[in-house]
Amino acid sequence: MKKLKRSGRLVDMTNFLLNHPNQLIPLHHFAERYAAARSSISEDLAIVKEIFESEQMGYLTTVPGVSGGVRYEPAVSDGEAETLVDRLCRRLEEPDRLLPGGYLYMMDILGQPGWLNEIGRLLAGIYRGENIDVVMTMATKGIPLAYAVAACVDAPICIARRDHRVTEGSVVSINYVSGSANRVQTMSLARRSIPEGSNVLIVDDFMKGGGTARGMSELLTEVNARLAGIAVLVEAHRRERLIDDYISLVRLDEVNEKEKQIKATPGNYTKYLFS
Amino acid sequence: MKKLKRSGRLVDMTNFLLNHPNQLIPLHHFAERYAAARSSISEDLAIVKEIFESEQMGYLTTVPGVSGGVRYEPAVSDGEAETLVDRLCRRLEEPDRLLPGGYLYMMDILGQPGWLNEIGRLLAGIYRGENIDVVMTMATKGIPLAYAVAACVDAPICIARRDHRVTEGSVVSINYVSGSANRVQTMSLARRSIPEGSNVLIVDDFMKGGGTARGMSELLTEVNARLAGIAVLVEAHRRERLIDDYISLVRLDEVNEKEKQIKATPGNYTKYLFS
C-alpha cells in the first residue's frame, strides 16, 4: 500500500475497523499497511476512538502489550436505541400488518437492511463483552436478524429447523412443546454447526410462550454448548412464559383483530443499556 | 453535533457512508451535521473518494445539482475477488465436507460473517448500477448470503419457501421441476414481499440443474416483477442446465464420494468483473 497522509489513513482505518468488528487488530498491521511509525498509528487511533465514542458508534478498545492491538465493538447510543425502538413500535402498530390468527406481518422489517443494521448493532452492544462464539436462530424469518447480530459480534450463525430436513450430516433433534400452539413439535440442528463448549446467543424475531427459545436452549445442552443469552425482537404479551431470562426490544401489549388495533411498547431491553 | 475538525469529519463521514451504502446522501446532510461550509465538505469527500478508489473499497459517486449528493457503492477489487474465490475453492475442496449423496457441508462458510461480508461486496459490485429493488432467495441455508448482498445494495430480502407454510397473508405458489431430484415440487412466496414492478436479484448458495432458480424467476413473473439477475455461490458441474444466464463464484468440477475428492475452480463471475 502506498504511503498515506493522516487524512487518508483515517479513512482507510475507519473502513478497516468497521469491516472487522470484534477482532483484535495488532497495531503493527496498520503500521505495515501504511508504512508509518507506530507512534503515528497510535495518534490516528486516538482520533478514531474519540469520534467513535463521542458519536457513540460503538467502542474502540486498545489492548496494550505485545499481543495487544485495537478492537472495534459496534453499538448504538442510548438515544439512538430509544429512537429506533420507538420507530419500531410505531411501525408495528400499523393496522394493515394484522394477519388472520392475530399474527403480524413483519417481513418488511425483518428483511430490511436499514432496520437490521441498527438492530444488530443495538443487540451486539447489549451483549458486548460476552464472548459470543455462535449466534443461533430458528428458521426462517429471523435468519437475517440473527445474521445482522452475528456480523456485529463476528460469530457464525447456526440455524435450527422445525423439521428433520437437515441434510448436513449428524443431526441432533429434540421434541418440545410450543407454548403458543400447545402441541409437541420437533426441532433439529446439524451437530457440526455448534462446536462443543461454544458460548451461544439465541436470537429470534418473535416470542409468544417461549417454547421455541426453551427448545433451542435444550438443543444447546445436547451439543454441550453454553447459553449466553436469548434476545428477541418482539415479544407478545403473556402472563406466563416458559423462560424468564431474555431480552426483548418491543413488547406487543395488545393485538385486537376485531378492532384492528395493535399496541406496541418498548421491551425489557432498557434494563440492559450500556451507559 | 459538535463542530469537528477535518480529521474527525473524515472518520465520521466514512462511518456514515459505510452504514448507508447505495443511498444518495445530500451534501447539506454533512454540512448540517458538522456545521461546516459545503466547500469544506466537498474537500472532505474528495479525500474519502480518493482513498475508497485507490484502495478499491468500492465507489463513491458524486451526483451534482440541487437534488444531488454522494453515494457509496460497495465492491471489492479484482485482486481481492480473485483471492477470495481462490480461498473459497481451497476450503470447498476439504474432504471432510463430503456428505452422503455427494452433497457438501457448507454452513461454516454460509453462516460466517467474515466470508459473507466479502462475498456480499463482490456480488454487489458485479450488479452495480442495476437498481436492485429486492434480493430474493430460497429458504434456508442461502438466507445469510442473500442478506449480505442485500445489505450492500440496500434492498430488502424476500424469502421463497419449498412448502406452503408461508403464514404471511396472500401467497403465490408454483409447481416446478427440480433439475436434480427430477420431481415436481412446490414453492411459495408471500405476495406482499415483492411489490409489482420490482427489479429482483436472485441469490442462492448452490445450483445443480437450475430448477430452483428457474422456479424463482417464474414466481417473479406471477407477481409482475422483473428479473435483474441470478447469482449463486457454488454451481455443480452439469452438461445441461435449465437456465443459461447466471453468475457463479465457484464451480465444482468433481465431487467423488468414493475417492473423497472434490475439485473446485472459479465460476463464470470473472466475465463480469468491474475493471
Q: CA–CA separation, A10 vs B55, rounded Å?
A: 13
Chain B nearest CA to A97, separation (Å): 9
Mean pLDDT of chain B: 93
Q: Is pLDDT larger for residue A63 or for residue B180?
A: A63
Q: CA–CA separation, A70 vs A64, rounded Å?
A: 9
Q: CA–CA separation, B238 vs B232, rounded Å?
A: 14
| Number of residues in chain B | 275
pLDDT tens figures, A171-230: 999 999 876 667 889 999 999 999 999 999 999 999 998 999 999 999 999 999 999 999
What are the residues facing A232 on neighbouring strands? A204, A248
Are B167 and A15 a contacting pair at CB < 8 A? no
pLDDT tens figures, B58-77: 999 999 988 889 999 999 99
Q: What's domain A6-74's architecture?
A: Orthogonal Bundle (1.10)
Query: Which chain A residues are within 8 Å of B58, Cβ to Cβ?
Result: none
**Range name among A10-24, A55-69, A114-128 with the lowest pLDDT average:** A55-69
Q: What's domain A78-272's architecture?
A: 3-Layer(aba) Sandwich (3.40)
B42 touches A at CB < 8 Å: no
DSSP letter at A160 equals E
Say whether the peptide bond before residue B186 is cis (omega within 30 degrees of 0). no
A167 touches B at CB < 8 Å: yes
Report long-range pairs for A165-170 (Cβ below 8 Å, ≥24 apart).
A166/A190, A167/B99, A167/B101, A167/B103, A168/A192, A168/A193, A168/B99, A168/B105, A168/B107, A169/B99, A169/B105
All residues at 6 or more sequence positions from B66 whose CB lies less than 8 Å from its CB, including other chains: none
Closest Cα partner for A202 from A181, A226, A178, A180?
A226
A168 touches B at CB < 8 Å: yes
Mean pLDDT of chain A: 93
Q: CA–CA separation, B75 vs B69, rounded Å?
A: 19
Contact B29, B61 (CB under 8 A): no
Are B117 and A158 a contacting pair at CB < 8 A? no
Are A15 and B12 a contacting pair at CB < 8 A? no
Q: Three-state DSSP class for B184?
A: strand
Closest Cα partner for A132 from A266, A227, A54?
A227
Q: CA–CA separation, A112 vs A96, rounded Å?
A: 18
Q: CA–CA separation, A235 vs A125, rounded Å?
A: 20
pLDDT of residue A179: 64
Closest Cα partner for A228 from A268, A256, A191, A201?
A201
Contact A201, A153 (CB under 8 A): yes
DSSP letter at B270 equals G
Q: CA–CA separation, B123 vs B233, rounded Å?
A: 9
List the Cα angle A268/A269/A275 in 5-degree steps: 135
Confidence of residue A274 (pLDDT cuts 50, 70, 90): low
Q: List the single residue in A with minimal CA-CA distance to B157.
A: A111
All residues at 6 or more sequence positions from B257 whose CB lies less than 8 Å from its CB, including other chains: B98, B100, B102
Are B140 and A143 a contacting pair at CB < 8 A? yes
- pLDDT at B84 > cutoff 90: yes
pLDDT of residue B168: 80
pLDDT of residue B163: 79
> Where are any strands of DSSP class E within chain A?
58-63, 69-74, 98-99, 103-104, 134-138, 157-160, 171-177, 184-190, 199-207, 226-236, 247-256, 261-266
Q: CA–CA separation, B31 vs B9, rounded Å?
A: 10
Among A2, A6, A14, A205, most B C-beta atoms within 10 A, so best to mutate, is A14
Are A107 and B151 a contacting pair at CB < 8 A? no
- pLDDT at B205 > cutoff 90: yes
Name the grid cell of B226: 422483473
Q: Is pLDDT larger for residue B273 or for residue A216?
A: A216
Mean pLDDT, residues A54-81: 92
Q: CA–CA separation, B2 vs B40, rounded Å?
A: 16
Q: Which of residues 121-150 of A touch B (CB under 8 A)?
A: 139-141, 143-144, 147-148, 150
Domain boundaries, chain A: 6-74, 78-272
For cell 462446536, the residue is: A195
pLDDT of residue A84: 98
Mean pLDDT, residues A84-105: 93
- pLDDT at A247 > cutoff 90: yes
**Range name among B100-109, B187-196, B258-267 with the lowest pLDDT average:** B100-109
Q: CA–CA separation, A45 vs A13, rounded Å?
A: 8
- pLDDT at B80 > cutoff 70: yes
Name the grid cell of A169: 450430516
Mean pLDDT, residues B102-120: 94
Question: Which of B6, B105, B139 is facing A169, going by the closest CB pair?
Answer: B105
Contact A190, B106 (CB under 8 A): no
Phi and psi angles of residue B262, each rounded to the nearest 5 degrees, phi first: -125, 135
Query: Which chain B residues are within 8 Å of A151, Cβ to Cβ?
Result: 113, 116-117, 148
| Beta strands B247-256 and B226-236, pairing class | parallel
Are B168 and A105 a contacting pair at CB < 8 A? yes
pLDDT of residue A163: 79
Among B1, B57, B119, B147, most A C-beta atoms within 10 A, so best to mutate, is B147
pLDDT of residue B166: 66
Are B168 and A107 a contacting pair at CB < 8 A? yes
The interface predicted TM-score (ipTM) is 0.96
How far is C-alpha A71 from the geometric centre of its chain's CA atoms? 18
DSSP letter at B102 equals T
Query: Which chain B residues are within 8 Å of A150, Cβ to Cβ?
Result: 111, 113, 144
- pLDDT at B274 > cutoff 70: no
Q: CA–CA separation, B125 vs B170, rounded Å?
A: 34
Query: Which chain A residues are within 8 Å of B157, Cβ to Cβ?
Result: 111, 144
Chain B nearest CA to A10, separation (Å): 6
- pLDDT at A54 > cutoff 60: yes
* DSSP secondary structure letters along A1-48: -----HHHHHHHHHHHHHHSTT--B-HHHHHHHHT--HHHHHHHHHHH
All residues at 6 or more sequence positions from A221 whose CB lies less than 8 Å from its CB, including other chains: none
Chain B nearest CA to A168, separation (Å): 6
A274: left (phi over 0), alpha (psi -120 to 50) or beta: alpha
List the Cα angle A180/A184/A188 in 5-degree steps: 100
Q: Which of residues 185-204 of A touch B (CB under 8 A)?
A: 190, 192-193
Question: Which of B12, B50, B190 is facing A51, going by the closest CB pair?
Answer: B12
Q: Give how far Cα B160 sits from Cα of A108, A187, A196, B214, B247, Å.
A: 14, 21, 33, 13, 20
Closest Cα partner for A99 from A161, A145, A141, A147?
A141
Q: CA–CA separation, A192 vs B69, rounded Å?
A: 47
Q: CA–CA separation, A74 vs A120, rounded Å?
A: 9
